[in-house]
Amino acid sequence: MGQGRAPLSQDAINWYMQHGIPGGDDIKRAPVPSVVDLCATLLQLHGTMSFERIIAPALALLDAGKAPRHPDLAVTLRRMVESERSACGGREEKIQAACDRFFGRPGAPQDIADELEAFHIRKGGFLRKADLAAHRTLVEDPVTVNYRGYTVCKCGPWTQGPFLLQSLRLLEGFDLKKMGRDSPDYIHAVAEAMRLGLADRN
């Protein structure tokens, strides 16, 4: 599961219940930055390279970049590489050490998590170190459907995945190719199939 969870503090829950999930760039909407753990998990399970080698091109781009956040992100990645290099064990354990440093998990340096928490507090967000440390990527079997000879895979019911699969199954009875892509009939059939799938989801 590559989606970060919402902050779990009671203050955050109370605010969300009263105001809903904010839109735009409001930092109160920020979930745990889960992509780091997702990439580390993928690298551990299916990769062959080190974290350091994988992120080398990203560091080159950040070092040449001009956006104000680029230097800070490069520092964060280099701290993670430092933890990977100094960790004991095999490739997977070393990658875990880099990941643990980002999330400030027990036994790992807390500098990155401290800075993330301080940034969220300063900007009025709810994300805290406890949210970071608790995050783990869940590896789940996908929900699948056969659509015109293709196996389409999506994430489970905690996402929009099942609605899309249901919409595809509804569309199997229509000759979309004959309708012509983006024709009025095509758009109507796709929109109505999605509407029915969303109605079931709701």
Specify if 21 maps to a domain.
Answer: yes
The predicted model gives 101-127 an average pLDDT of 96
The predicted model gives 112-118 an average pLDDT of 97
Give the phi and the psi of residue 180 in degrees, each rounded to 5: 90, 125
pLDDT of 58 reads: 96
The predicted model gives 53-61 an average pLDDT of 96
Q: How far apart are CA 86 and CA 103, in angstroms?
A: 17
Specify if 58 maps to a domain.
Answer: yes
Looking at the fold, whether 128 and 156 belong to one and the same domain comes out as no
pLDDT of 157 reads: 86
**Considering only CA atoms, which of 84, 87, 29, 11 is closest in space to residue 52?**
84
Looking at the fold, whether 130 and 148 belong to one and the same domain comes out as no
Is residue 164 predicted with pLDDT exceeding 80?
Answer: yes
Is residue 1 predicted with pLDDT exceeding 80?
Answer: no
First to last CA, the chain: 22
Specify if 118 maps to a domain.
Answer: yes
Looking at the fold, whether 109 and 39 belong to one and the same domain comes out as yes
Q: How far apart are CA 146 and CA 153, in angstroms?
A: 9
Is residue 93 predicted with pLDDT exceeding 70?
Answer: yes
CB 143 within 8 A of CB 155: yes
The predicted model gives 122-135 an average pLDDT of 95
Is residue 100 predicted with pLDDT exceeding 70?
Answer: yes
Is residue 2 predicted with pLDDT exceeding 80?
Answer: no
The predicted model gives 56-85 an average pLDDT of 96
Task: Supply the Cα-derived Rg of the chain in whole angstroms.
Answer: 21
Give the CATH number, domain containing residue 169.
Answer: 1.10.246.130
Mean of the per-residue pLDDT values of the chain: 93
pLDDT of 5 reads: 86
Looking at the fold, whether 128 and 34 belong to one and the same domain comes out as yes
Determine the structural domain holding residue 23 and report its residue range.
10-134
pLDDT of 132 reads: 95
